[in-house]
Amino acid sequence: MSEIKELYVIEWMGPYKSLDDICNRKDTADCCIYLITGHDSRESNGIKYVGITKRLPEKRFSDKDHQRKPIREKLYWTGRFSVLAYNNLEKPRNRARAELVEHLIIKYLFDSNVNIDNKDKTQSLPKKPIGIISKWQKRETDDARLNKPRILRMLPDILLYSDNKFWSAPKMRIDLE
C-alpha cells in the first residue's frame, strides 16, 4: 500500500432539522464540510449530498443553486477538521484539503451504489492517498455519540484510499474501562 501522508479526523455534528438549528450551535463557524440526508423521489433513505463551504454552512444551504434534486425529510450534518499535530494541518479550512476529503467521500459513496446528488466528483478517483476518520458527535455538545445514526451507515467511520482501492472500517467503538 502506498504511504498515506494525509489523514484527517472530521468531527461531525448533527442532525439539524433546520438552518435555525445550525445557527443555534455556537461553533459551526469552523465547519467547512457537510452532509445532507433524507429521501429522494425514489424513496431511498440516506446520504444525498456532500459539500464543502468557506462560509457558514447555513449560508451555503440557503443558496438558490445549492441542490438540484428535492430532498424530503432533510437532515443536515456539519463537519469540522480536528487539528492533527503530526499532520501539520495549519489551515484546517484550506480549500484544496477540503476538496480532497469531499472527493474521497463522494467517490466512495457513489462506488457503493449510494444515490448521491453530487455527480461531478464521481467520475475520477482521488489524486493521492488519503485517509479520514469520522467522529460522530451530538447535535448540541461535543459529546461523542455511542451509536452512529442508521441513516449514515453507508459512510464508514474509517476510510482510506490508496493504490486505486478503498479500505474501510464501518464503525469505531468506544472501549469501556
Cα separation of 130 and 116, whole Å? 21
At 22, give phi and psi (nearest 5°). Answer: -65, -45
Q: What is the pLDDT of residue 137?
A: 84
Distance linking the first and last C-alpha atoms of the chain: 34
Domain extents in the chain: 7-169
Per the model's pLDDT, the better-predicted residue between 1 and 137 turns out to be 137
Compute the average pLDDT of residues 135-157. 83
Q: How sure is the predictor about 131, in pLDDT bands with cuts at 50, 70 and 90? A: very high
Q: How many residues does the chain have?
A: 177
Position 111, amino acid: D
Cα separation of 17 and 14, whole Å? 9
Cell numbers representing residue 8 in the block = 484527517
CB within 8 Å of 93: residues ≥ 6 apart = 30, 32, 54, 81
Contact in structure between 6 and 131 (CB atoms under 8 Å) = yes
Residue 82 CA, distance from chain mean position = 13
Residue 116 CA, distance from chain mean position = 13
- Tens of pLDDT, residues 80-96: 887 653 344 445 446 78
Q: How sure is the predictor about 28, in pLDDT bands with cuts at 50, 70 and 90? A: low
* pTM as predicted: 0.84
- Tens of pLDDT, residues 43-102: 678 898 898 877 665 566 666 655 556 777 888 888 888 765 334 444 544 678 888 899
